[in-house]
Amino acid sequence: MITELRVTPRTPELPRPWGPDVPVHHVLICEVVLDDGRTGTGFCWTPTIGAKAVRALLEDDVRAALIGMADPHPQVVWDRLWRRLREAGGGGVTTIALAGVDMALWDLHCGGRGLVDVLGRRRSSVPVYGSGVNRHYTLEELVAQAERWKAAGYPAVKMKVGLPDLREDVERVAAVREVIGPDTPLMIDANQLWDLYRARRAVEALAPYGLHWLEEPLPADDVAAHVELRRSVAVPIAVGENVYTAYGFRDLLTAGACDVIQPNVVRVGGITPFLRIAELARTFGVPTYPHLLPEISGQLALTLPLPCMVEDVEDASFAALGLLAEPYPVEIDGPDLRVGDHPGLGLNWT
């Protein structure tokens, strides 16, 4: 039986701020305690908005619903909590709060085995692509970052676009392409900043640089516009980091709105819904590329049914932020991520 939920907030500074308005990340470490004394640990995460609201929901409504549950199986608990808590919203604060509890319960469910082996290991390593939140970088800073990616041996890289003047995006994409060479896959991420007209213009202007995919070109919940954009351009469309439920991914997939999905394990509510979303995508032949959070996303990527890559945003992992003690749950060695030998999730919080 579940007897307690403890929440500990952490706010680490980013060595490389994601912009003037994103100097830190917010992490809530969640511990779920059973009546026999066993404790599982998970986390909630948000770079900007909602950490205080998530904590309040966890310490009030989630705790009240959670304590006393007889069966701590993560899937059973997730479904019961979701039915109760979704009155507070279908995604965002609600699902972010659920993620902390769900991951803690998976940590418990694994017992002495690692998460990858409990879920089913499909590969021994997964490729890692270099990524940066770099729209605010000068051109010189962006080029220097691309040079670091190349030196690190990343097999693919991703950069931000969506500046007010499309000519600046073209100049910056051209500069990164020049650094990484013609054969390294180059992805671009617009973070929902375009409308359909501007997205089409951008794809046309950036076509000479061989885009591997275009990420979040439009508002995340505008399914119809994504369908129309995908129909009218040759560049693959990647979406999902700001989609919060399996229903949202179902709507994107059934409409034919995307080529790649990118669920964030925290924003969708934890490992339980993440796995359901990945299995849904498999039925459409669409790969799942986990969004951010390599310490947990990397473990999940080793179990996914279709091949994928893991995103490594420069100096933004929990290890880089000083939140974890060694041994870390995953190791990024050049172009590949491998999992360590640890029980549960392997997150040793400092």
pLDDT 10s digits, 118-139: 999 999 999 999 999 999 999 9
Rounded Cα distance between 81 and 258, Å, is: 30
Quick one: which of 66, 103, 30, 61 has its CA closest to 268?
A: 103
Quick one: which of 145, 193, 171 has its CA closest to 312?
A: 145
pTM: predicted TM-score of the whole model, two decimal places:
0.96
Inter-helix orientation angle 166-180/139-152, to 10°? 30
| pLDDT for the residue numbered 333 | 84
Mean pLDDT of 332-344: 92
Mean pLDDT of 31-43: 97
Which residues make beta-bridge pairs with 260?
238
The answer to whether the beta carbons of residues 129 and 158 sit under 8 Å apart is yes
Give the confidence band of 186 by pLDDT, cuts at 50, 70, 90. Answer: very high
Question: For residue 305, is the peptide bond before it cis, meaning its omega torsion is within 30 degrees of 0?
Answer: no
Which of the following is catalytic: 26, 160, 212, 342? 160
The answer to whether the beta carbons of residues 131 and 186 sit under 8 Å apart is no
Quick one: which of 115, 100, 125 has its CA closest to 31?
A: 100
136 is annotated as an active-site residue: no
3-class secondary structure, 93: helix
| pLDDT for the residue numbered 99 | 98
| pLDDT for the residue numbered 228 | 97
- Above 80 in pLDDT, residue 314? yes
Query: Sign of dihedral through CA atoms 183, 236, 330, 48?
Result: positive
Rounded Cα distance between 207 and 214, Å, is: 11
Which residues make beta-bridge pairs with 238?
215, 260
The answer to whether the beta carbons of residues 53 and 28 sit under 8 Å apart is no
The answer to whether the beta carbons of residues 44 and 28 sit under 8 Å apart is yes
The answer to whether the beta carbons of residues 152 and 179 sit under 8 Å apart is no
Please tell me the CATH code under which domain 2-109 is placed: 3.30.390.10
Residue 278 is encoded by which pair of tokens? Answer: 């990945």
DSSP string, 172-220: HHHHHHHHH-SSS-EEEE-TT---HHHHHHHHHHHGGG-EEEEE--S-T
Strand (E) or helix (H) holding 127? strand 126-131
CA end-to-end span of the chain, whole Å? Answer: 27
3-class secondary structure, 215: strand
Give the confidence band of 101 by pLDDT, cuts at 50, 70, 90. Answer: very high
Residue 65 is encoded by which pair of tokens? Answer: 């619903």
Amino acid (one-letter) located at 125: S
Strand (E) or helix (H) holding 337? strand 336-339
3-class secondary structure, 170: helix
Give the confidence band of 334 by pLDDT, cuts at 50, 70, 90. Answer: confident
Quick one: which of 221, 245, 263 has its CA closest to 94?
A: 245
For 11-79, where are the E strands, in sequence order? 26-34, 39-46
| pLDDT for the residue numbered 115 | 98
Quick one: which of 181, 138, 141 has its CA closest to 163?
A: 138
Rounded Cα distance between 187 and 129, Å, is: 10
Rounded Cα distance between 223 and 248, Å, is: 9
109 is annotated as an active-site residue: no
3-class secondary structure, 334: coil
Which of the following is catalytic: 26, 226, 291, 342? 291
Mean pLDDT of the chain: 97
Has domain 116-339 been given CATH number 3.20.20.120?
yes
Amino acid (one-letter) located at 119: L
Domain boundaries, the chain: 2-109, 116-339
- What is the chain's length? 350
Share of the chain above pLDDT 70, in %: 100
- Above 90 in pLDDT, residue 259? yes
| pLDDT for the residue numbered 230 | 97
- Above 90 in pLDDT, residue 11? yes
